[in-house]
Amino acid sequence: MELSKNYLPTAIESKWYEHWLSKNYFASKPDHREPYTVVIPPPNVTGVLHMGHCLNNTIQDILIRRARMQGKNACWVPGTDHASIATEAKVVAMLRERGIAKSALSRDEFLGYAWEWKEKYGGIILQQLRKMGCSLDWDRTSFTMDPDYYTSVIQVFNDLYKKGHIYRGKRMINWDVKAKTALSDEEVIYKEVQSNLYYVNYQLEEGGTITIATVRPETILGDAAICVNPNDERFKHLHGKFAFVPLIKRRIKIIPDEYVTVDFGTGALKVTPAHDMNDYQLGQKYNLEIIDTMNDDGTMSDAAQLYIGEDRFVVRKKIVADLESAGHIAKIEAYTNQVGFSERTDVVVEPRLSLQWWVSMKNLATPALDAVMNDDIHFHPAKFKNLYRHWMENIKDWCISRQLWWGHRIPAWYTNDGSFAVASNAEEALAQLKTSTQNNQLSLADIRQDDDCLDTWFSSWLWPFEVFKGLSDPGNKEVSYYYPTNTLVTAPEIIFFWVARMIMAGYEYKQEKPFKDVYFTGIVRDKQGRKMSKSLGNSPDLLGLIDQYGADAVRFGIMIASPAGNDILFDESALEQGRNFNNKLWNALKLIKMWESKLASTSSTNNPIVSTETMAINWFENRLNQVAKEVDNLLNQFKLSEALKTLYSLVWDDFCSWYLEWVKPGYEQPIDPKVYHQTIRYFEQLMQLLHPFIPFITEEIYHLLNEQSDDLCVKHTFEPKEVNNEILEAGELLKRVITALRDARNKNQIKPKESIQLHIQTENVLAYKAIEAILMKQVNAASIQYATD
């Protein structure tokens, strides 16, 4: 069989993935073997493959393929997240293109369109993972709104409510005016924004003015008080006095409170309880009126009195102009501040007082914090333990209700008078309400279910056990076998969204950790250090890169630059390095296969291998075993990038540059069959070590080297032997001397074909005698003489 000049990945990758699937190699069932379980961080059902997915899933596949080759029962569970906000936005956009408004539809009609969209477009990303070579057990594909999963989510809500962990309360929340839904604190991303600080004069009832600084003049219309520090001498005469809100003349009280910082702004603070988290606390303390001046879409409400129906940022400009015209602006300064943006829609979040559902987190957090701090769950790298501890020790209650239709609907039912019951279904709720209201005449027609759905993370925190039906069928053999899972691979930015909550849910519902190790990847950035995004145009087309370089090269490129927990500055040259490495392997294969025609006659196979070849074989045997142990140790420590770099050096330098040069036959000379077959064995073992990282080319080479009865994908990795350090040291000495003599030839313009007389001054003649034969051959030395002084 004639091999192509260069490695051509496209056809080979498709061939082997289909072969592995046909052999059912990725499927797993409980048996006598040790399980190794990984659950995929479920990508959004709306998602398409990007560089972050590439990094995350390459790491998972390396771990799974390694476990499979170690003889473990490797199980990698795929699936997708329903992604409430993202999916609903996609469906609304689709309907808009059809000329349909969401507001014109009933809930059931809208959900019909949502499921239609999901069936057509959802899960594309899972198909794309096949192109990367991801060895997932596709028969186990899960979705966070599968019927059984849905039932378990509702069951958890009911259980936590009965335990007192879930409650309904009116509190300040983060409001996304685009998605028109509440957000948890973790769904708010703070960005540095160049703003203005407006100094506004408020007229005092007794005459004169008091100046207040604000970055949000549009909220002035909701002011309910002015607050000053009680120890600030400038304002002591104003305690308990009154001022008027500019433009609308609302009379508001001046109250002293130590919350105010004397040296910020003017030292006087406008208190707007409906539009600021801290102001709300002051409002509660002093029983201030809560004046909500904004609608849920970010336009001004009737309560604002002015600019009704206009967008908040349009109003900001208008009110500043009107304040200036009325003489209320003292000055305007440039100001840099941190502004909260919705993690999903990237719009500025509004603090808003709202009646929502909450999870009380403190009691749930305690065992989850202990598990990580006691290293029952290991973080890699460990530096993330401090971040985790800080958040868990200062944990706030979790707002879990979302004003959306796509998702798990909150299982609460209400009567017209506001009474409610939490239940698994309407019939159960009706029975509860009949008892609590003492009204046996109530019917299903008299109660309505909560319109809101649950935060997406409220379903995905059950993922590690519910993909094995750990709640819907708690005693089943699968969850008993596969749970707790082994390793979670995820990004540190969702350590609070997801990792912490999964740990809480694991201890609450399975009395066990959900995973033993957490590997935190870095964030993939461009060469300028910017996070990749469509808006910046710096996010490459991953599928296009796979088509251009091959999946193995892409996997190699992303991993070679990815130390655990550190951000990756992505450069396409790393993919070129991966392609070059594949071609290096391919060229080594062609060279070795070419020797097949130069095998010495079988009558010579019993002859001893000559000393030059013995030295080379013994050295590489030990070097291979040494590196195999190093790589195993690095992988045990989750140092995947370092392991790949170590293998890269072994192949490129030790095997190709040195070993093959040392054993290759002379021009038109035969190669000893023992040397040839030993070389084949080494190359096969190299393919075993590399397979988890670059599975396609290694499987191809493995089969081209020999007629194989098995596949590399499921072949058990060889056990490294003990290493002889003396032989390794001899090999390193040989490499140093050869390199020095090559440099000397170049410097003195001595051609390689010219033999040399070699004089070596050393106190360790025996060390040189051990490498003498191969050294003379490699440097074309006619003789060697030694001197000890």
Name the DSSP class of 313. Answer: H
What is the C-alpha separation between 368 and 498, in angstroms, rounded? Answer: 12
Cβ proximity of 676 and 616 under 8 Å: no
- What confidence category does residue 603 fall into, taking pLDDT thresholds of 50, 70 and 90? very low
- How far CA 688 is from CA of 565, 636, 678, 685, 736, in Å, comes to 27, 17, 15, 5, 29
Cβ proximity of 611 and 773 under 8 Å: yes
In tens, the pLDDT along 32-83 reads 999 999 999 999 988 788 898 999 999 999 999 999 999 999 999 999 999 9
In tens, the pLDDT along 436-479 reads 999 999 999 999 999 999 999 999 999 999 999 999 999 899 99
- For the segment 215-235, the average pLDDT, to the nearest whole number, is 96
Both tokens of residue 691? 């397979």
Is the per-residue pLDDT at 608 higher than 80? no
CATH fold, domain 181-350, is Isoleucyl-tRNA Synthetase; domain 2 (3.90.740)
Cβ proximity of 524 and 384 under 8 Å: no
Pick 364 or 187 by higher pLDDT.
Answer: 364
Is the per-residue pLDDT at 406 higher than 70? yes
In tens, the pLDDT along 558-585 reads 999 887 678 888 889 999 999 999 999 9
Is the per-residue pLDDT at 767 higher than 90? no
Is the per-residue pLDDT at 156 higher than 50? yes
Beta strands in 84-215 (DSSP E): 142-143, 166-176, 181-183, 188-204, 209-214
User: Tell me, what's the pLDDT at 528?
Assistant: 84
DSSP codes, 745-782:
HHHHT--TTS-EEEEEE-S-HHHHHHHHHHHHHHHTEE
Place of tokens 């009110």: 319
The pLDDT mean for the chain works out to: 93
Both tokens of residue 693? 């990282």
Both tokens of residue 322? 């009107």
Buried b (16+ CB within 10 A) or exposed e, 558-584: bbbbbbbbeebebeeebbebbbebbeb
Name the DSSP class of 221. Answer: G
User: Tell me, what's the pLDDT at 392?
Assistant: 96
- How far CA 742 is from CA of 612, 739, 748, 755, in Å, comes to 19, 5, 10, 12
- What confidence category does residue 1 fall into, taking pLDDT thresholds of 50, 70 and 90? low
CATH code 1.10.730.10 region(s) in the chain = 583-787
Least confident of 114-123, 330-339, 503-512, 662-671: 662-671
* β-strand partners of 757: 783
Place of tokens 């009646």: 355
CB atoms within 10 A of CB 689: 24
CATH code 3.90.740.10 region(s) in the chain = 181-350
Place of tokens 């000397």: 744
Architecture of domain 583-787: Orthogonal Bundle (1.10)
Q: In the chain, what percentage of residues exceed pLDDT 90?
A: 77
Strand-strand pairing, 166-176 and 350-359: antiparallel
In tens, the pLDDT along 257-288 reads 999 988 888 999 999 999 998 999 999 999 99
Maximum Cα–Cα distance for the chain, whole Å?
Answer: 118
* β-strand partners of 761: 787
What is the C-alpha separation between 623 and 656, in angstroms, rounded? Answer: 13
Is the per-residue pLDDT at 296 higher than 80? yes
* β-strand partners of 175: 182, 350
Indicate the SS3 state at residue 95.
helix
User: Tell me, what's the pLDDT at 467?
Assistant: 98
Give the list of residues 6+ apart from residue 35 with CB closer than 8 angstroms, or none.
28, 72, 73, 74, 75, 481, 482, 486
Is the per-residue pLDDT at 711 higher than 80? yes
DSSP codes, 235-249:
GGGGTT-EEE-TTT-
The structure's pTM equals 0.89
Closest CA relative to residue 50, chosen from 518, 487, 544, 489: 544
- How far CA 614 is from CA of 617, 662, 671, 714, 727, in Å, comes to 5, 10, 13, 32, 11
What is the C-alpha separation between 620 and 473, in angstroms, rounded? Answer: 53
Least confident of 8-12, 134-138, 740-744: 740-744
What is the C-alpha separation between 340 and 336, in angstroms, rounded? Answer: 13
Least confident of 209-213, 410-414, 559-563: 559-563
What is the C-alpha separation between 292 and 287, in angstroms, rounded? Answer: 15
Pick 552 or 44 by higher pLDDT.
Answer: 552
Both tokens of residue 405? 């239709």
User: Tell me, what's the pLDDT at 31?
Assistant: 97
Is the per-residue pLDDT at 610 higher than 80? no
- What confidence category does residue 535 fall into, taking pLDDT thresholds of 50, 70 and 90? low
User: Tell me, what's the pLDDT at 771?
Assistant: 83
CA quadruple 137, 139, 140, 146: dihedral, nearest 10: 150
Q: Where are the alpha helices (DSSP H) in 637-672?
A: 640-649, 660-663
- For the segment 127-144, the average pLDDT, to the nearest whole number, is 96
- How far CA 288 is from CA of 53, 169, 226, 568, in Å, comes to 49, 19, 11, 50
Amino acid letter, residue 274: A
